Amino acid sequence: MAEFQKLVFSGVQPTGNLHLGNYLGAIRKFVALQKDNDCIYCVVDEHALTAQLVHEDLRGQTRAIAAAYIASGIDPKKHIVFNQSAVAGHAELAWIFNCVARIGWMERMTQFKDKAGGKNAEQVSLGLLAYPSLMAADILLYRATHVPVGDDQKQHLELTRDIAQKFNIDFSANIRKEGYGIDIKVGDEPVHAYFPMVEPLIDGPAPRVMSLRDGTKKMSKSDPSDLSRINLMDDAETISKKIRKAKTDPDGLPSEPEGLKGRPEADNLVGIYAALSDKTKADVLADYGGQQFSVFKPALIELAVSVLAPITEEMRRLTGDTSHIDAILRDGGERANARAEKTMKEVRDIIGFLR
């Protein structure tokens, strides 16, 4: 059996307020993975239109995400950093996947239900429903095999696998006839596949960073309360204020992770500490178990500032020179496009479009 060549792909939407959840759930993993892998990291600007069509400064937000990637340590020369709209194949493949996927698959997505919840169908864009189809296209356009994301994206990646599998099955005769695809195993089943079954990479002590105001809600760019999240552009004083004000319960820290069950706010702060210090929650509790939050919070503030301040400073420097960031994105876009065009030519052949 053959295997698809390992390739890492992921992206972040330029929708403002890049926060600690985006950093720990996604960007930090991007940095770690670049050491041993071929990686493509995208600023998914077309996704930014799904929830809100008109943006005051989409270009500025796009540059800010690219700056966050680079300031966090991604090397845009060795790997590819680009914005999605620079490569037409994303939208073209998404259209094909809209025809592969079923409406019911999209309607079952919890993120769609959360974002569309409470609105009537006249108020919700068709793009929001089809978001996972564009996400599948982003990944499969490069036939990527591994996708580092936060836990909130797990269901979308399962859908990406469903779309890949349905495409492979529906077009199996044409994939063979055109001489594309490889023989892989899906479970125990041998399959002749054009698209790989992507593997989500969702591990670590903080796969879903929660709001600082409510430990049952994920930290999110769109939360109206700025106190709910630590933004990557926050200064040390603001980070300190937000952690001091973070909701907790009256008990001190337990000595074992088991003791965090049913205490979402405590669990979240310990998870953030663990992720920022590259430790497990058990390690953190070995140091702080039995202590009050009045001791733990200042330690967390010191740690968060020491990790984030250099990134914030570098992001400010990079966003101050737009021509430099734009040149990086242009170069990345050209290299991404060359790879994407190869896939799109083959996909057009498989489907039977006349060229």
Sites of contact with ligand AQP (CB under 6 A): 12-13, 15, 21-22, 24-26, 149-150, 152-153, 208-209, 218-222
Taking CB atoms, the residue at the shortest distance from ligand AQP is 25
Q: Are the beta carbons of 45 and 58 closer than 8 angstroms?
A: yes
Cβ neighbours for 221, distance < 8 A, ≥ 6 positions apart = 13, 15, 16, 17, 18, 19, 22, 229
Among candidate residues 77, 76, 44, the one with its CA nearest the CA of residue 61: 44
- Nearer to ligand AQP by Cβ, of 25 and 196: the residue is 25
| Minimum distance, C-beta of residue 35 to ligand AQP, in the bound complex (Å) | 19
Catalytic residue among 154, 166, 221, 279: 221
Please, is 200 exposed, middle or buried when counting C-beta atoms within 10 Å of its C-beta (0-12, 13-18, 19+)?
A: buried
| Minimum distance, C-beta of residue 110 to ligand AQP, in the bound complex (Å) | 12
Q: Can you tell me the distance from the alpha carbon of 151 to that of 129, in angstroms, rounded to the nearest whole number?
A: 20
Query: Catalytic annotation on 297?
Result: no
- Nearer to ligand AQP by Cβ, of 175 and 269: the residue is 269
| Minimum distance, C-beta of residue 9 to ligand AQP, in the bound complex (Å) | 11
Catalytic residue among 218, 242, 281, 297: 218
DSSP 8-state assignment for residue 42: E
| Minimum distance, C-beta of residue 307 to ligand AQP, in the bound complex (Å) | 15
* Structure tokens given for 185: 């195993």
- Nearer to ligand AQP by Cβ, of 80 and 212: the residue is 212
Catalytic residue among 29, 35, 78, 115: 115
Give 178-210 as a DSSP string. TT--EEEEETTEEEEESS---EEE--SS-SSPB
**Which residues make beta-bridge pairs with 43?**
12, 83
| Minimum distance, C-beta of residue 204 to ligand AQP, in the bound complex (Å) | 9
Query: Catalytic annotation on 218?
Result: yes
Query: Catalytic annotation on 242?
Result: no
Place of tokens 């663990």: 274
- Positions marked active-site: 115, 218, 221
